[in-house]
Structure 1
Amino acid sequence: MNVILWITAGLLAVFFLASGTMKLAQSRQKLVASGMGALEGFGDGAVKGIGALEVLAAVGLILPAALDVAPVLVPLAAVGVALLMAGAMIAHLRRREIPAVAMTLLFLALSVLVAWGRFGPESFTG
């Protein structure tokens, strides 16, 4: 189970590092034009804030445990990802973007798995 949690956290971290970096580096208009239509309803600052949260989540899913410095931050980062994905699902549902809702639901489920596993049976504290 520990290996599955590491792999899942790693995959989530890669995705959110890429997604967050893209949101931080590109303008909202360019992101919307490239297919991220759900960002249309957000301001530029909100998009940059979401990008920053995604980058922080990516770091929080891996580094605390890898460096053995405050590993309790891993499940907390996973909870943060779950909250971000809940918000993303709402944004996609409002726009009736069903494929995006399905992908967001997958990331939500994976983050809940990591949070559950790291708070529970494969906790770093025990």
Structure 2
Amino acid sequence: MGCLGNLLWFIFGGAISGLSWCLAGSLWCITIVGIPVGMQCFKLASLSFFPFGKEVRYGGGAVSFLLNVIWLLVSGLPLALEHLALGLVLCITVIGIPFGLQQFKLAKLALMPFGAEIV
């Protein structure tokens, strides 16, 4: 069921979400200082392309908190608003509710990506 969910997800919103994460990662990788942030974006793009069957665990320390604050101000809010808007659109129908919930999971992740572990 996870494979079918991921396939439908990719067609109905996952491609757009994943490409947004890839764009953010590419922009961060322009500078040498931003490469670690960009690499985290590419990891989260893979989650955004195929989220079913994966969980996110949050943790981290002071460095993760500092990076999350910088991330939130620079790139986090636009990505979170995109996921929130897509999630609301998907939750209009009963069939789209599981997809909308995945978008909400990604919106939370867009606000705090550092210190998050994908399992």
TM-score by length of 2: 0.42
Instruction: Compare the two structures and name the one with the higher helix fraction.
Output: 1
TM-score by length of 1: 0.41
Larger radius of gyration: 1
